[in-house]
Amino acid sequence: MKKTEMNSYEENYWQRRRMERRRRRRQIRRKVLLLFGVSVLIVLSVWFAGGKFTEWRSRQRLLRADNASFVGAPPFTVDLLEVNEYSRPGTPLKEINGIVVHYTANPGSTAQNNRDYFNGLKDSHETKVSSHFVIGIDGEIVQCIPSTEVAYASNSRNDDTLSIECCHQDETGTFTQETYLSLVRLTGWLCQRFGLDSSDVIRHYDVTGKICPKYYVDHPQEWEKFLQDVDAQIKEVEKEVRAAS
């Protein structure tokens, strides 16, 4: 081989190598771009679908709660306590596993009196006590705390129960017929709404041994009768909810 031939041979060789390298680099760049594009697409789809799903789920939940909210409920007034550490701490209730029934142990007081007493604790700092609902001797019901928040009524069960305080006329703690009927209707509705049954309905006495609600601690058979009435009421509410949907 002559010197010039050799030179052009080498030149060709290196040119080929350069072109090949360039082609390979282009190929890699294309692959990386494609991979990047596909990844972005996947991330976007997952993000979009996830958002849509969450949106759909919260809407379903809201619809269910709306439907269940007042169908089958007894009439009641919402007069919420102001958020304060003595009666409405504003702590979220993480689950509802039961309903606790109480009596006020304050003969002759009305539902409103008791609600106002709870609310006044924010200034008096006398003690820490409250209840989600209070039922008066005429059967009137006042809601003091949303069912999404903790009330100070049932000691160790504050964290997973709703509470109902009942007014009474005298020391025996007997409920009037009106109070009793409202209690059955309210308890039945709450059970249906939160997926509970009568075995989840307890007395304050069952938590701490405190004589509360006095009449039903003194008369356990009457308490059993009450639970039967709650069972019947749950079925009644279920019927109303079915009819309404």
- Rounded to the nearest whole angstrom, what is the least distance from the CB of residue 212 to Zn ion in the complex? 3
- For 190, residues 6+ apart whose C-beta sits below 8 A from its C-beta are 99, 147, 162, 196
Q: Measured from the CB atom, is 132 or 204 closer to Zn ion?
A: 204
- Rounded to the nearest whole angstrom, what is the least distance from the CB of residue 210 to Zn ion in the complex? 6
Q: Measured from the CB atom, is 206 or 238 closer to Zn ion?
A: 206
Would you list the DSSP string of 111-172? Answer: HHHHHHHHHHHHHH-------SEEE-TTS-EEE-S-TTB--SSSGGGTTTEEEEEE--SSTT
CB 136 within 8 A of CB 166: no
- Rounded to the nearest whole angstrom, what is the least distance from the CB of residue 207 to Zn ion in the complex? 8
CB 140 within 8 A of CB 168: no
Q: Measured from the CB atom, is 88 or 102 closer to Zn ion?
A: 102
Q: Measured from the CB atom, is 99 or 237 closer to Zn ion?
A: 99
- Rounded to the nearest whole angstrom, what is the least distance from the CB of residue 102 to Zn ion in the complex? 3
Query: Half-sphere exposure (CA, 13 Å, Cβ side) for 245?
Result: 16
- Rounded to the nearest whole angstrom, what is the least distance from the CB of residue 137 to Zn ion in the complex? 17
Q: Measured from the CB atom, is 92 or 209 closer to Zn ion?
A: 209
Residue 125 φ then ψ, to 5°: 55, 20
CB 167 within 8 A of CB 102: no
Residues of the shown chain interacting with Zn ion in the complex, contacts defined by CB under 5 A: 102, 204, 212
